[in-house]
Structure 1
Amino acid sequence: MTAARRELARAAAHLASLGLSPGSSGNISVREGDRILITPTGADLAALDPDALSVLRLDGTHADGPRPSKEFPLHLAFYRRESATGAVVHLHSRHAAAVSCRPAWSDRSAVPPLTPYFVMRVGQTPLLPYAHPGDPAQAAELERLPFPCRAALLQNHGPVVAGTGLRAATEAAVEIEEVSALLLLLGAHPTRLLTTAEAAALAAKYGSYWTEETVRDEELSPAR
């Protein structure tokens, strides 16, 4: 059993223990050389067998193990978008899924810059239009996005996030759930968001993406 397999199983169990992967929902992958290890279809993230993972090549060819999650095209899209991507997490976490049912905050991010940690650990998170789960056309749309991102909300579905490794990807998955919960809790209350300059400074310092075109200054400053 390789270290990558053990680490993937630990990350999956951690997310399940936080209640972010109800039932057999959610899937995780990690890059191991020129192959991708990914959870099988219908897998319970709380009880993964590290020796029973699906193995894919970057072109999507099923190389070994059981049948992969039907969401594997989304994972491959992130690996192809950025060579530094080392892991991808897709969840049906409750609050992020709820936010995915609402209109996007801007063209480049469904979620506004509400907290520093959202900008630092996740960054701009576009809303991808609804598609049936596993639809490769949605993954192709993600791969073609003309601006950088390491996370997206799938409309009426939930979040998918990428990271340089499993720790970064799982932290981003937790953070997008937390900021989504805060956003829903605030509701229509007047809310101070980070300014363009504040968000850009955090993104530059922590290597996330919050591009200038994401928002306009007048959108960022309600109720200071």
Structure 2
Amino acid sequence: MFLDEHTAKQQIVAFAKSIFDRGLTSGASANMSVRIENAWVMTPTNTCFGFLNAEELSVVGLDGTLLKGLPPSKEFRLHKAMYDQRPNDRCIIHLHSTYATALSCISATDNSNVVPTFTPYLTMRLGPIAMVPYFAPGDDALAESVGKVAAKHAGIIMANHGPIVSAETVESCVYGMEELEESCKLALLLKNENANTLTAEQINFLLNKFKK
């Protein structure tokens, strides 16, 4: 079910400020969108999550035409690539959060599952996290790369850039991003430890019970 434009704007402003206030992103380094009927509401280019104005948020048609507000984030095509592959999702968040971005700078042995499963919660919220190669922010090739894996991955880490998460509601998108950041923190803290991860059987149980 789609939110109306007013509610979408209010939720973006409230959750973005919460994300900023808790130090999950800084400066003008993040973007967020909510899909409404026949359009997207999105944070404008070069704006800070801590100081958004609801009336200035971008309203963008499905063809990319700016309908209201300030020009949207240059990552609009990145968001569209995920929405195109995940038609039931209504919110996307991209951050430069510290631990997920740090992990994005480390080569992975399996780009379809780059965050170790130390706890069940990331699997429950997002499933396995993919990594895509580095491309410059706003590059069409980045959107294309994300689009290729988005159907099977609600959470994606872009190499040397940061995480992007898609979900069916604004709340679940925020919670998924928070869990991804915490899981990346655990991965880095335990990197040189002989730490236990969940077994394949335990992970499959979670994937079947909490399908993403």
Check conservation: 2:85, 2:150, Cα contact below 8 A.
no
The aligned counterpart of 1:144 is 148
The aligned counterpart of 1:186 is 190
Q: Where do 5+ consecutive residues of structure 1 fail to align?
A: 209-224
Q: Where do 5+ consecutive residues of structure 2 fail to align?
A: none
The aligned counterpart of 2:7 is 3
Check conservation: 1:4, 1:30, Cα contact below 8 A.
yes
Task: Name the count of aligned residue pairs.
Answer: 208
Match of 2:176 among 164, 172, 176: 172
Question: Displacement, 1:170?
Answer: 0.5
AA in 1 matched with 2:141:
A
Check conservation: 2:82, 2:150, Cα contact below 8 A.
no
Say what the alpha-carbon RMSD is for the aligned residues: 1.4
Question: Displacement, 1:87?
Answer: 0.1
AA in 2 matched with 1:82:
R
Match of 1:96 among 100, 107, 110: 100
- CA–CA distance in 2 between the matches of 1:30 and 1:71? 14
Deviations 1:118-167 (A, max 9, x none): 11112111111000011111111211238611110010111000010110
Check conservation: 1:8, 1:29, Cα contact below 8 A.
yes
Runs of 4+ residues over 4 Å off in structure 1: none
- CA–CA distance in 2 between the matches of 1:107 and 1:97? 15
Percent of pairs with identical residues: 34
Question: Displacement, 1:207?
Answer: 2.0
Question: Displacement, 1:98?
Answer: 0.2
Relative distance call for 1:133 and 1:6 in structure 2 (3 A) is: same
- CA–CA distance in 2 between the matches of 1:168 and 1:153? 18
Question: Displacement, 1:168?
Answer: 0.7
AA in 1 matched with 2:187:
L
